[in-house]
């Protein structure tokens, strides 16, 4: 989960007219990706732009209500929702897609992913792959992860840790229609302190030629932290991710230790907010979380060891909690399979496992705002929807869990005016699951219809016409 390495290729986006030097191999790879996946997307999508489509199903969850609507109807015009609900009238001449005994819902949102990182069942091979795989090969892996995630019903993700600007390139390729995938908000790389969870640890001194610095997101002191935020923003960050505490999967730190001083955290969040960028803080420990909350952080990720004071502060400040329960599920499966995990990491994982579930239940009892995030890559990509049942199994009401992965996450990401609910004027991000997910939350793991901005990427229902 660590952001490592540094690519000196400059980001070139709509708002950045700076010319950049791009290696010929990267350029060739981009051309091949664009041609291959662009053609696949054109041939696979069944809904062209600039048309009216009527989606019907037995029921509908609009992302914000406390009940399901029966029947469910969504009218889509030119990629946006024109109306939704039981009484939405189908315009004459519209294409009608009847999905039968199913529930229409807003496209799911995952607020904590690592699409540019691969899941592994071989710890040592994964470390070697990170050093041996070329950036173009890692990019191709990321493209596959993005498509799998979209097919699972997740039409928007917040990606909170990458390397070599792969996340920026993937975001842009998806946005420009070159490859299929969820809408992405990216951080370029996570920002933390020397020797912390956001740094390269576990390697001998000098192996990478120099010590990591702000260019890689490693900063010390308030001024360096501000510089690191500005660099991330310069090269394309939509959001800022910081490592406020130690981590489970890093070798050189204890999992609950704070890694930024209050002054450093204040500077980081002040600079990010001045640039209109929200901040997600990786924080397992209570003190690390409190420093981030005091500084005005937008969300706490993981939060395994947060105490009552930290949770009360979150409630008071309106801070979101993104518990990433699937991360522990993935680690548990790895340990049960007998996979080699360094003893220090195994011990930290076991500590987190004994605490996180209780912390989540305490957060629910206190009414802390909860967003859905999974830490995809710690478990195999595409299983993101299992987070819904993880939350419900721990006492969250099914409707509340569905809201966490739709309207709540949209609010957290600052996109509530565009996504997260089935309402007129919003992007037509719509998924369908069989049956009733309120009666069986695990129906969310069986998405058979995926529409993003009016384009159908998946439809496995035989009655579509």
CATH code at 427? 2.30.40.10
> Is 242's pLDDT higher than 60?
yes
Q: Domain check: are 230 and 304 in the same one?
A: yes
Q: Domain check: are 241 and 101 in the same one?
A: no
* Residue whose pair of structure tokens reads 């795989």 in the numeric block: 133
Q: Domain check: are 284 and 186 in the same one?
A: yes
Please indicate, yes or no, if residue 19 is contained in any of the structural domains.
no
Q: Domain check: are 328 and 269 in the same one?
A: yes
**What pLDDT is stored for residue 26 in this prediction?**
42
Q: Domain check: are 291 and 429 in the same one?
A: no
Please indicate, yes or no, if residue 43 is contained in any of the structural domains.
no
Last residue of a domain, one of 376, 392, 412: 412
Q: Which two tokens stand for residue 406?
A: 């739709």
State the residue range of the domain holding 317. 108-412
Q: Between these two residues, 399 and 195, which has the higher pLDDT value?
A: 399
CB neighbour list of residue 48: distance below 8 Å, 6 or more residues apart: none
> Is 456's pLDDT higher than 70?
yes
Query: Residue 48's pLDDT band (boundaries 50, 70, 90)?
Result: very low
Query: Residue 251's pLDDT band (boundaries 50, 70, 90)?
Result: low
* Residue whose pair of structure tokens reads 């470390």 in the numeric block: 127
Please indicate, yes or no, if residue 45 is contained in any of the structural domains.
no
Please indicate, yes or no, if residue 14 is contained in any of the structural domains.
no
Please indicate, yes or no, if residue 10 is contained in any of the structural domains.
no
**What pLDDT is stored for residue 14 in this prediction?**
36
Q: What would the pLDDT profile of 119-159 be if each residue is shown by its tens digit?
A: 888 777 777 777 788 999 999 999 999 999 999 999 999 99
Q: What would the pLDDT profile of 338-351 be if each residue is shown by its tens digit?
A: 888 888 888 888 88
Please indicate, yes or no, if residue 15 is contained in any of the structural domains.
no
pTM (whole model) above 0.75: yes
**CA distances for 325 relative to 201, 369, 371, 374, 447, angstroms:** 25, 16, 11, 6, 20
Number of separate domains in the chain: 2
Q: Domain check: are 78 and 113 in the same one?
A: no
Q: Domain check: are 121 and 131 in the same one?
A: yes
Please indicate, yes or no, if residue 232 is contained in any of the structural domains.
yes
Phi-psi region at 351: left, alpha or beta (left = phi > 0; alpha = psi -120 to 50): alpha
Q: Domain check: are 194 and 264 in the same one?
A: yes
Rounded Cα distance between 308 and 312, Å, is 6
Q: Domain check: are 155 and 174 in the same one?
A: yes
Rounded Cα distance between 464 and 447, Å, is 15
Please indicate, yes or no, if residue 32 is contained in any of the structural domains.
no
Q: The sheet that has 95-98: what strands, in order across it?
A: 80-84, 72-77, 52-57, 95-98
Q: How many CB atoms lie within 10 A of CB 316?
A: 10
Q: Between these two residues, 345 and 35, which has the higher pLDDT value?
A: 345
Q: Domain check: are 428 and 283 in the same one?
A: no
Q: Domain check: are 455 and 325 in the same one?
A: no
The CATH number of residue 373's host domain is 3.20.20.140
3-class SS at 206? coil
> Is 360's pLDDT higher than 80?
yes
Q: What would the pLDDT profile of 182-235 be if each residue is shown by its tens digit?
A: 999 999 999 998 877 776 766 667 767 776 767 887 899 999 999 999 999 999
Q: Domain check: are 62 and 147 in the same one?
A: no
């Amino acid at each position: 989960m660590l952001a490592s390495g540094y690519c000196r290729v400059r980001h070139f986006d709509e708002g950045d007219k700076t010319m950049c030097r791009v290696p010929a191999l990267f350029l060739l790879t981009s051309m091949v990706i664009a041609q291959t996946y662009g053609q696949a997307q054109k041939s696979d999508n069944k809904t062209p732009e600039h048309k009216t489509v009527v989606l019907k199903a037995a029921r509908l969850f609009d992302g914000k209500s406390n009940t399901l609507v029966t029947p469910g109807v969504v009218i889509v015009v030119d990629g946006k929702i024109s109306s939704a609900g039981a009484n939405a009238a189908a315009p004459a001449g519209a294409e009608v897609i009847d999905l039968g005994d199913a529930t229409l819902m807003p496209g799911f949102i995952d607020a904590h992913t690592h699409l540019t990182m691969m899941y592994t069942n071989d710890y040592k091979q994964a470390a070697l792959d990170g050093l041996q795989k070329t950036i173009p090969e890692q990019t191709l892996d990321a493209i596959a992860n993005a498509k799998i995630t979209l097919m699972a019903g997740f039409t928007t993700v917040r990606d909170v840790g990458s390397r070599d600007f792969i996340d920026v390139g993937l975001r842009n390729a998806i946005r420009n229609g070159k490859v299929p995938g969820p809408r992405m908000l990216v951080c370029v790389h996570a920002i933390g302190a020397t020797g912390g969870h956001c740094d390269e640890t576990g390697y001998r001194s000098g192996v990478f030629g120099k010590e990591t610095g702000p260019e890689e997101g490693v900063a010390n002191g308030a001024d360096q932290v501000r510089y690191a935020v500005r660099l991330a923003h310069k090269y394309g960050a939509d959001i800022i991710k910081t490592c406020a505490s130690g981590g489970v999967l890093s070798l050189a730190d204890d999992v609950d230790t704070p890694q930024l001083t209050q002054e450093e955290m204040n500077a980081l969040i002040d600079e990010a907010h001045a640039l209109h960028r929200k901040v997600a803080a990786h924080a397992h420990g209570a003190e690390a979380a409190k420093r981030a909350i005091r500084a005005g952080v937008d969300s706490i990720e993981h939060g395994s060891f947060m105490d009552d004071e930290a949770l009360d502060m979150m409630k008071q400040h309106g801070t979101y909690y993104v518990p990433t329960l699937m991360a522990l599920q993935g680690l548990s499966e790895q340990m049960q399979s007998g996979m080699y995990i360094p003893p220090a990491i195994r011990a930290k994982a076991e500590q987190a496992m004994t605490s996180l579930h209780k912390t989540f239940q305490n957060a629910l009892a206190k009414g802390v705002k909860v967003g859905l995030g999974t830490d995809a890559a710690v478990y195999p990509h595409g299983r993101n929807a299992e987070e819904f049942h993880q939350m419900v199994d721990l006492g969250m009401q099914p409707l509340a869990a569905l809201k966490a992965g739709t309207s709540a996450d949209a609010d957290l990401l600052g996109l509530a005016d565009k996504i997260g609910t089935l309402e007129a004027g919003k992007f037509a991000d719509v998924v369908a699951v069989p049956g009733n997910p309120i009666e069986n939350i695990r129906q969310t793991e069986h998405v058979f219809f995926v529409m993003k901005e009016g384009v159908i990427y998946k439809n496995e229902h035989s009655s579509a016409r």
